[in-house]
């Protein structure tokens, strides 16, 4: 790693992040289009047989690569969101995150509800309650029992939003005292996870989401080491504390994921290897045209592939065969993701930038 002065915030594009985002989204697409769909319909296909034989079984990859893709996304968020928080004051940070996450989510959510494309069982009667509508709109629907799920992958957005809020709160520490920022974050995670069963079902669901934060905090620890805010042994020690917090969450809340066939930790280990390799060797590759394009559309692709792609496969499977239906579904969701990115994401990201620039204040960063 390059030795950096933490008082200077590195600028420029992260090529290795570009390289990771697109493939991570495609892993989730594969998980749903191939792994899960064929399992649901109790069928097989040559691609699934080969992937199972060469990768899934030998490497003990769970959920048909879906969790691996999610873990890569969590590490990316822990790294890049921590970096961004050093460049923006909390208000600018919050405004930009809102305009980055919500507009595309709202458009896809509205389309899914309007055309009945939910990729999970959904009862429209719950929309008569304005509180349910508000929770869906704010992505807080996973914090209330019973949970109302429309987009199957949106559970990860809830975790991202919680992480954004936490980072905004500890931004002064992130800029000046990275060690204490992570100590405060980890202490909060340990306390909430340990008390998951104390205050009822809604609190338990909140704690269940908090239990995923250690995966993002490992990405944060990597960032602090990369940026020069923490020395190697300290960053490694904090990474281990985040790992133990993740394990506590598995033992105390997500007990089903202790089984090796569904292990979150195995996915984390493989994702870490991919992440570190990309950090060291993937920067130039990530600046190429195709990786950058896939990175740009990865968020929309992640949201839209389930409701639209699975509907296409189910509708065409019996007529043109599974392979052709899956290929057409992939092409359709890639095109749709590109359109959403160009027409929704990019314009609203620019609106968020312009609005947040009204509150621009150059952050002061000091060595921890």
**Phi/psi at 98 (5° precision):** -60, -50
Write down the residue that tokens 């292990």 correspond to: 263
Backbone angles phi, psi at 259, to 5 degrees: -65, 130
Q: What is the pLDDT along the chain (368 residues), one digit of tens a residue?
A: 456 778 777 777 899 999 999 999 999 999 999 999 999 888 989 999 999 999 988 988 888 999 999 999 999 999 999 999 998 888 899 999 999 999 999 999 999 998 888 877 778 888 888 898 999 999 999 999 888 888 889 999 999 999 999 999 999 999 999 999 999 999 999 999 999 999 999 999 999 999 999 999 999 999 999 999 999 999 999 999 999 999 999 999 999 888 877 888 889 999 999 999 999 999 999 999 999 999 999 999 999 999 999 999 999 999 999 999 999 999 999 999 999 999 999 999 999 999 988 877 654 554 44
Q: Is 19 helix (H, G, I), strand (E, B) or coil?
A: helix
Of 234, 280, 239, 250, the closest CA to residue 2 belongs to 280
Cis peptide before 146 (omega within 30 of 0): yes
pLDDT of amino acid 264: 87
What is residue 257's predicted lDDT score, i.e. its pLDDT? 87
**Surface-to-core class of residue 145, CB atoms within 10 Å of its CB (0-12 exposed, 13-18 middle, 19+ buried):** exposed
pLDDT of residue 361: 60
For residue 74, which of 255, 268, 296, 243 has the smallest C-alpha distance? 268
Q: How many CB atoms lie within 10 A of CB 143?
A: 19
Tell me, what's the pLDDT at 295?
95
Closest CA to 162 of 218, 108, 97: 97
Q: Where are the domains of the chain?
A: 15-357
- pLDDT for 10 equals 78
Q: What is the largest CA-CA distance in the chain?
A: 63
Per-residue pLDDT, 366: 47
Residue 368: its pLDDT value, please? 42
The pLDDT, as a whole number, for residue 3 is 62
What length is written for the chain?
368
């Amino acid at each position: 790693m390059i030795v950096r002065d933490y008082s200077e915030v590195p600028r420029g594009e992260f090529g290795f992040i570009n390289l990771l985002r697109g493939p991570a989204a495609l892993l989730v697409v594969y998980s749903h289009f191939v792994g899960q769909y064929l399992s649901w319909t109790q069928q097989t296909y040559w691609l699934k047989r080969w992937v199972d034989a060469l990768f899934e079984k030998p490497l003990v990859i769970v959920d048909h690569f879906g969790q691996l893709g999610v873990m890569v996304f969590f590490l990316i968020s822990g790294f890049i969101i921590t970096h961004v928080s050093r460049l923006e004051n909390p208000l600018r940070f919050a405004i930009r995150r809102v305009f980055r996450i919500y507009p595309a989510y709202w458009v896809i959510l509205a389309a899914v509800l309007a055309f009945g494309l939910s990729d999970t069982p959904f009862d429209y009667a719950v929309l008569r309650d304005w509180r349910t509508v508000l929770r869906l709109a704010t992505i807080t629907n996973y914090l209330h029992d019973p949970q109302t799920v429309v987009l199957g992958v949106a559970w990860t957005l809830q975790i991202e939003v919680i992480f954004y809020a936490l980072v905004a709160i500890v931004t002064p520490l992130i800029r000046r005292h990275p060690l204490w920022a992570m100590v405060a974050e980890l202490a909060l995670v340990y306390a909430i996870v340990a008390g998951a069963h104390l205050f009822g079902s809604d609190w338990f669901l909140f704690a269940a989401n908090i239990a995923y934060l250690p995966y993002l905090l490992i990405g944060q620890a990597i960032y602090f080491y990369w940026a020069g805010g923490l020395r190697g042994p300290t960053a490694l020690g904090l990474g281990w504390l985040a790992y133990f917090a993740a394990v506590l969450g598995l033992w105390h809340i997500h007990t089903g994921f202790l089984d090796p066939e569904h292990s979150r930790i195995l996915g984390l280990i493989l994702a870490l290897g991919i992440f570190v390799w990309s950090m060291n060797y993937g920067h130039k590759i990530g600046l190429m045209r195709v990786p950058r394009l896939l990175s740009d559309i990865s968020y929309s692709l992640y949201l839209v592939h389930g409701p639209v792609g699975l509907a296409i496969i189910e509708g065409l499977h019996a007529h043109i065969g599974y392979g052709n239906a899956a290929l057409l579904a992939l092409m359709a969701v890639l095109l749709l993701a590109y359109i959403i990115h160009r027409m929704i994401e990019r314009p609203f990201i620019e609106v968020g930038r312009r609005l947040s620039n009204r509150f621009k204040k150059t952050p002061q960063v000091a060595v921890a």
